[in-house]
Amino acid sequence: MYYVYVIQSLEDKKLYIGHTDNLRRHFKEHNSKQVESTKK
């Protein structure tokens, strides 16, 4: 199953929209800046 998500950065208030088959893993990657869009 795939999920569509919208998350907001606490640091700069930007919105990130995407999809994943593993929400827990993907949010962990976003929070640790391992995802290209949130590395900056």
Successive 10-residue mean pLDDT values, the chain, 40 residues: 90 90 86 66
pLDDT value for 36: 67
pLDDT for position 16? 86
Q: Does the reported pTM lie above 0.75?
A: no
Task: Find the DSSP H helices in 1-40.
Answer: 23-31
Q: What is the pLDDT of residue 37?
A: 64
Q: What is the pLDDT of residue 13?
A: 92
Q: What is the pLDDT of residue 2?
A: 95
- How many Cβ atoms from other residues are within 10 Å of residue 18's Cβ? 13
